[in-house]
A and B are shown apart, each in its own frame.
Chain A
Amino acid sequence: MKKNNWFKKELFFHALLLPAAVIVIIFKYIPYLGITMAFERYDPLKGLFDQQWIGFENYRYLFSLPGFKSVIWNTIFIAVMKLIGNLIFPVIIALLINEILHPLYKKTVQTVLYLPHFISWAALAGIFIDILSPTGGLVNKLITSLGGNPVFFLGDPKVFPYTLAVTDIWKELGWGTIVYLSAITAINPEYYEAAKMDGANRFQQILHVTIPGILPMILLMMVLSVGNVLQAGFEQVFNLYSPQVYSTGDIIDTYVYRIGLVQARFDLATAVGLFKSVISFVLIVLGYKIADKFTGYKVF
């Protein structure tokens, strides 16, 4: 009897929730049917349900492709470098920006840092080819004027992955600070006042108030980004790489793109997508458990 009452009381709220639930089901769950394409010899001329089921054949094929393993390694190497860089540097920059007192100067710095985020890699690639040129590029002019040897950032397979990481971190630096800056404003000013009373200088305030204050946000960003460990950035690599750096710069996405270029292989693309999703899923769970265990911090 009591149970029935409870249901009646909340029925209205469930009804409010219904449209959202329906949308999620239609756009997030029904497309799950498409996962089956990863296990089929997919022929677009036939319907979704008349395909030839081939099990893990697409995966067997992918991993039998010559050089696919080195491609996976490249992907992880580049992505992990970016993950770490994109985690550490925005925090440092956010802390520095937060210390700027002059409001106009602060806004200008922020805006200038945000700008690269909005430039597409297609345009940036042309700029970087010029700036990083071993003959007459700005960066190499600086290196040679300091007595070093010019570095072929985009053409030397040993250097190329680091070039990718650095340019990506530079591009996303300002954008990454937004979330930390907002977390910093959420810190209760009383903490700073208390710290000042105790005689903490600015550096000690950062160390003992600001950083602990935004730690939950840093951890959240870390957990969320761990899932991107196979996302090395198609647009960037595609615009910057060339055959001479294939050995270290070719990633899963560019490799599959080149296969897809010969013919639209929906099945292979889905297989790769699913492969990446499963690994991301595992890593997110692991990352979350680790964050939970060491800091006691829970997102859910």
Chain B
Amino acid sequence: MKTRILKGVAAATIAASLVGCGQSAGNTPASSPGAGTSSGAAGREDAYTVTYMHKTNGDEKFLGNDSFNDNVWTRYYRDSLGITLDYKVAAAGDDYDQKMSMAIASNSLPDIMDLSPSQFQDLAAAGKLADLSQVYEDNASDLLKQTIEVDGGVQLASGKIDGKLYGIPQLAAADGTGDLLWIRTDWLKALNLEAPTTMDELLDVAKAFRFNDPDGDGAEDTWGIGFQKDIVTESGASPGSFDGFFAAYGAYPRAWIKDDSGKISYSGIMPGAKQALAQLSQMYKDGLIDPEFGVKDATKLGEDIASGKVGMFYGNEGIPWGATKSCVENDPNADWQCYPIVSATDKPAKPATYVRISRYFAVNANCKHPEALIKIANAFQDKINSLDSTEETLNTFGVDPKTGVNFAAVAAFGMDPAIQKCNTYYAEIKATLDGETTVDKIHPEAARYYKAIKQFIDNGMNGHDDPVGWNYYKFIGPEGSWNTIINDYKANDKLVSSVFFGAPTPTMKSNLSSLDKLEAETYVNTIMGTSDPSAFDGFVDQWKQLGGDQITTEVNNWYNTTFADLSK
């Protein structure tokens, strides 16, 4: 008796540890069809319903009783297009990923779905997805095609397998985002310094920020330059990115760079990375870098920036929204400005850009109406991105002026040409400020930014009193980050793109996590002086042996097959 019960208990323990992956089985659709969805569509002969599994941001808001299944967009699809979009699942983050995995495992895919790059590749290869090539040709509006193929069709090409289009990628910022050097200008002034243009000058500024008491409180409590802990990442760890620093030596910890001969190689093992690490290690030894950077993530570094402990760091163009804004809010004297990144060699430093496709919109092979996806995608372009869209359309389908509820966020398959938009708005705002045009002639959204910026300039450009105006001014104003990107980076052809953005290759799936661990350890230990910079050569050999060479071959193959059509 004794042993039998014991066995039962032990068996239950085993079972308890295994049910983990089964727990998501009890999923219920996050929102059931709204009550009022059936009225308008019923009248149409050609009306039909398609089911949809959608990965949300998790912060979508609705007016009144609206929901995913019943809102201004779904009513528009139903009444104008005759398509009832039935959200089977609308969930965010891991929650959605689990539900999608369950749907794949139980073979109960909806008509239309949001898929991660690897799910997309697996399903397309298994023949579960509809070929959209013809549907896209026939149904996509010129505006939609223009939006999607803004980068010359590079991202769309990743949705093709053997020349057939199986999914529409959610567009990622293609070549408009890169590291900038952000510096506290009030500290520069206090110490009588100029913004650095070379690595040597950057070191001088860092030393002055560390040891010459830029904040004037009599204590050595400021760091020369701020970094956060994630070095080997392409997920844009900002502020405190390492990419901009490595770029000074022509290397990037996490980029796949195509050389002149057309061969793609991993930049994290290039000699430039070794030089960058040696320099960082020296800076660490000199006390310019917070010894705790290795445990501080971007949020934690942001707190240091906001509290005036850091006066210089690398970060992307979105920085004015975050820590620097808190900094000027906290300190009436603080002001920040972005500068192009500096070079350590005689060649100009080029920031890396990454394409990060978060999802593919795909259609079930069994769906009778694959064109629904394209038709619905057209709607977003007509209402939001069209230059003809009026303030009234934007208020109805974009952002509600009264409550601030963002309707555009719940539109299905919204393709936002963010880069294009910023370029246009920047030009329009600048032209208006220069008196070349007037505010009523520019895009209503640009006009909104213009008004905030104009007010900020007129009121004496004090960020402490007007943080929102400061925010817009530093982003899209005449001295904003977008100005540097367009008039320095793009004008001088300085942006380098990391060319690999497909689903993980087979060897990546099996070996990449070990390689990443190896790289991250080598980098951090070199910077912190626990291992010598010469250990880098051993790391490179090990990296190649442990599957790195194989991954490089696979990346080259992926590139050559995916973009074979484009190069023709």
Q: Does A55 contact B (CB under 8 A)?
A: no
Q: Does B524 contact A (CB under 8 A)?
A: yes
Q: Does B272 contact A (CB under 8 A)?
A: no
Q: Does A28 contact B (CB under 8 A)?
A: yes
A247 touches B521 (CB 8 A): yes
Q: Does B437 contact A (CB under 8 A)?
A: no
B513 touches A261 (CB 8 A): yes
- Taken together as a complex, chains A and B put the C-alpha atoms of A242 and B230 apart, in Å, by 9
Stretch at the interface among A2-10, A181-189, A272-280: A272-280
Q: Does A201 contact B (CB under 8 A)?
A: no
Stretch at the interface among A73-81, A129-137, A168-176, A202-210: A129-137
Q: A243-B229, A277-B13, A284-B10 are in contact. Are A45 and B294 (CB under 8 A)?
A: no
* Closest residue of A by beta carbon distance from B25: A31
Q: Does B105 contact A (CB under 8 A)?
A: yes
Partner of A270, one of B18, B101, B292, B524: B18
- Taken together as a complex, chains A and B put the C-alpha atoms of A242 and B105 apart, in Å, by 34
Count, chain A residues at interface, CB 8 A: 54
B21 touches A44 (CB 8 A): no
For the side of the interface on B, what is the size category? 35 or more
Closest Cβ of chain A: how far from B177's Cβ, in Å? 23
B295 touches A129 (CB 8 A): yes
Residues of A within 8 A of B107 (CB): 45, 47
A242 touches B295 (CB 8 A): yes
- Taken together as a complex, chains A and B put the C-alpha atoms of A51 and B175 apart, in Å, by 42
Q: Does A126 contact B (CB under 8 A)?
A: yes
B18 touches A263 (CB 8 A): no
Q: Interface 1/0s, chain A 264-300, versus B by CB < 8 A?
A: 1110011001101110110011001000000000111
Q: A45-B123, A243-B523, A244-B525 are in contact. Are A152 and B291 (CB under 8 A)?
A: yes
B294 touches A34 (CB 8 A): no
A266 touches B21 (CB 8 A): yes
B513 touches A44 (CB 8 A): no
- Taken together as a complex, chains A and B put the C-alpha atoms of A119 and B405 apart, in Å, by 32
Q: Interface 1/0s, chain B 1-23, versus A by CB < 8 A?
A: 11101100111111111111110
Partner of B126, one of A45, A129, A263: A45
A44 touches B104 (CB 8 A): yes
Q: Does B118 contact A (CB under 8 A)?
A: yes
Residues of A within 8 A of B300 (CB): 126, 129
B19 touches A274 (CB 8 A): no
Closest Cβ of chain B: how far from A154's Cβ, in Å? 5
Q: Does B194 contact A (CB under 8 A)?
A: no
Q: A126-B300, A243-B524 are in contact. Are A273 and B18 (CB under 8 A)?
A: yes
Q: Does A56 contact B (CB under 8 A)?
A: no
Q: Interface 1/0s, chain B 507-537, versus A by CB < 8 A?
A: 0111011101110110111001010000000
Of B5, B12, B291, B528, most buried by chain A (CB within 10 Å of CB) is B291
Residues of B within 8 A of A269 (CB): 20-21
A135 touches B521 (CB 8 A): no
Q: Does B207 contact A (CB under 8 A)?
A: no
B504 touches A263 (CB 8 A): yes
Closest Cβ of chain A: how far from B492's Cβ, in Å? 34
State which residues 449-470 of B face A: CB under 8 Å: none
- Taken together as a complex, chains A and B put the C-alpha atoms of A13 and B521 apart, in Å, by 62
- Taken together as a complex, chains A and B put the C-alpha atoms of A27 and B101 apart, in Å, by 20
Residues of A within 8 A of B296 (CB): 129
Residues of A within 8 A of B126 (CB): 45
Residues of A within 8 A of B123 (CB): 45
State which residues 1-58 of B face A: CB under 8 Å: 1-3, 5-6, 9-22
Closest Cβ of chain A: how far from B379's Cβ, in Å? 32
Q: Does A155 contact B (CB under 8 A)?
A: yes
Partner of B15, one of A31, A65, A299, A300: A31
Q: Does A227 contact B (CB under 8 A)?
A: yes
* Closest residue of B by beta carbon distance from A241: B295
Closest Cβ of chain B: how far from A290's Cβ, in Å? 14
B517 touches A285 (CB 8 A): no
State which residues 125-168 of A face B: CB under 8 Å: 126, 129, 133-135, 152, 154-155
Q: Does B367 contact A (CB under 8 A)?
A: no
Closest Cβ of chain A: how far from B311's Cβ, in Å? 17
Residues of B within 8 A of A300 (CB): 1-3, 5-6, 9
A259 touches B513 (CB 8 A): yes
Q: Does A59 contact B (CB under 8 A)?
A: no
Q: Does B128 contact A (CB under 8 A)?
A: yes
Closest Cβ of chain B: how far from A231's Cβ, in Å? 9
Partner of A246, one of B20, B229, B520: B520
Partner of A44, one of B15, B101, B509: B101
Q: Does A212 contact B (CB under 8 A)?
A: no
Q: A126-B300, A258-B513, A285-B6 are in contact. Are A244 and B21 (CB under 8 A)?
A: no
Q: Does B95 contact A (CB under 8 A)?
A: no
* Closest residue of B by beta carbon distance from A243: B520
Q: A28-B15, A34-B18, A67-B517 are in contact. Are A262 and B508 (CB under 8 A)?
A: yes
A66 touches B546 (CB 8 A): yes
Q: Does A40 contact B (CB under 8 A)?
A: no
Q: Does B122 contact A (CB under 8 A)?
A: yes
Residues of A within 8 A of B128 (CB): 45
- Taken together as a complex, chains A and B put the C-alpha atoms of A212 and B484 apart, in Å, by 75
Partner of A243, one of B5, B13, B294: B294
Of B105, B126, B128, B518, most buried by chain A (CB within 10 Å of CB) is B105
B15 touches A281 (CB 8 A): no
Residues of B within 8 A of A277 (CB): 13-14, 17-18
Residues of B within 8 A of A270 (CB): 18, 21
Closest Cβ of chain B: how far from A42's Cβ, in Å? 10
A246 touches B17 (CB 8 A): no
Residues of A within 8 A of B292 (CB): 129, 133-135, 152, 154-155
B13 touches A61 (CB 8 A): no
Residues of B within 8 A of A259 (CB): 513
Residues of A within 8 A of B516 (CB): 258
A154 touches B295 (CB 8 A): yes
- Taken together as a complex, chains A and B put the C-alpha atoms of A280 and B18 apart, in Å, by 13
Partner of A285, one of B10, B22, B105, B513: B10
Residues of A within 8 A of B523 (CB): 243
* Closest residue of B by beta carbon distance from A29: B15
* Closest residue of A by beta carbon distance from B231: A243
Q: A44-B101, A135-B291, A244-B524 are in contact. Are A262 and B504 (CB under 8 A)?
A: yes
Residues of B within 8 A of A35 (CB): 18
Residues of B within 8 A of A298 (CB): 2
Residues of A within 8 A of B299 (CB): 126
Q: Does A191 contact B (CB under 8 A)?
A: no
Given pairs A28-B11, A280-B13, 20 additional interface contacts (CB within 8 A)? A28-B12, A29-B15, A32-B15, A45-B105, A45-B122, A67-B514, A126-B299, A242-B229, A242-B294, A242-B295, A243-B517, A244-B294, A250-B517, A258-B517, A264-B97, A273-B18, A274-B18, A280-B14, A281-B14, A300-B2
Cβ-closest 7 pairs across A and B = A243-B520, A277-B14, A258-B513, A243-B524, A44-B105, A28-B15, A244-B524
List 8 A–B pairs whose Cβ atoms lie within 8 Å, in order of A's numbering: A29-B15, A31-B19, A67-B517, A243-B523, A246-B520, A246-B521, A298-B2, A300-B5
